[in-house]
Amino acid sequence: MGKRLRMQRRGKGSVAYTKPPNYFKADVNFRPKPIDGKIVGEVIEFVDDPGHTAPLMRVRFDDFTEAVYLAPEGIRIGNRIQEGRLAELSLGSIMPLGSIPDGMLIYNVEMRPGDGGKIARVAGGYATIKSHIGDKVSVLLPSKKSLDLAYDCRAGVGAVAGGGVTAQPLMKAGKSYYIYHATNARWPKNRGVKSNPVDHPFGGKQHHKGASSMTSRHAPPGAKVGHIAARRVGRRKSG
């Protein structure tokens, strides 16, 4: 009887494959209920969170509540931001997409109103307002694809800070280990064809799969690798 495969161990979940809760110092999502008017807050400090690639900022609002958000590029301690449906356009302000003009850079964009932000959250990431069409706003994603979102979806004005985090080269594997370990990312990513037969379905075949990698969507965890539920594989026929 062989040992449990790597993807089976990860799929089952354990301490080794779970992000420790103490790695994330704060929740950077927007508040679940949007503000009808507007509220003004002041940036009081920056937070270095090992669970995020971008720096965070702690904001104290006029009603003496505090929140931690992703810091945009160019923000400083003492700057004031606005949040709400009637917020004015300024760096770091959190407002509906319908109130943001075309061509403006935005970050931490909601896909559905009230979800707290899902798009453009990595260091240096941003999306762009393309146009307002009817009751939808066309947003250019970091992947260069366009997405039509509702007017009530919120976003921060600007681009996420820390864009040069990948400019410094990784001179040794030890540094990579600690970077990936902070978010429990899967590293190193070894190819399945380089593995032994007991470690991966593609292993033990002279560094090639040896058969089609198309896999059923309902395959068990130990076999669910390769082209999962693929519509087609192989080269397209010309003509």
- Condensed to tens digits (0 to 9), the pLDDT of residues 154-199 reads 999 999 999 888 788 889 999 888 888 777 777 888 888 998 888 8
Closest to 56 (Cα-Cα) out of 91, 29, 80? 29
Task: Note the pLDDT of residue 92.
Answer: 93
Task: Note the pLDDT of residue 2.
Answer: 64
CA distance 116 to 153: 9
Residue 97 and residue 13 in contact, taking contact as beta carbons nearer than 8 Å: no
Tokens, residue 215: 């896999």
CA distance 76 to 56: 11
H-type helices in the chain, by residue range? Answer: 6-12, 173-182
Per-residue confidence in pLDDT tens, the chain, 239 aa = 567 887 788 777 777 777 777 777 888 999 988 888 899 999 999 998 888 889 999 999 999 999 999 999 999 999 999 999 999 999 999 999 999 999 999 999 999 999 999 999 999 999 999 999 988 999 999 999 999 999 999 999 999 999 888 788 889 999 888 888 777 777 888 888 998 888 888 888 888 888 888 999 998 878 888 899 999 888 887 76
Strand ranges inside the chain, DSSP E: 39-47, 56-61, 66-70, 80-83, 94-96, 105-107, 127-133, 136-140, 146-150, 154-157, 214-215, 227-228
The structural domains of the chain, ordered by start, are 6-17+184-228 (4.10.950.10), 22-165 (2.30.30.30)
Task: Note the pLDDT of residue 96.
Answer: 95
Task: Note the pLDDT of residue 214.
Answer: 92
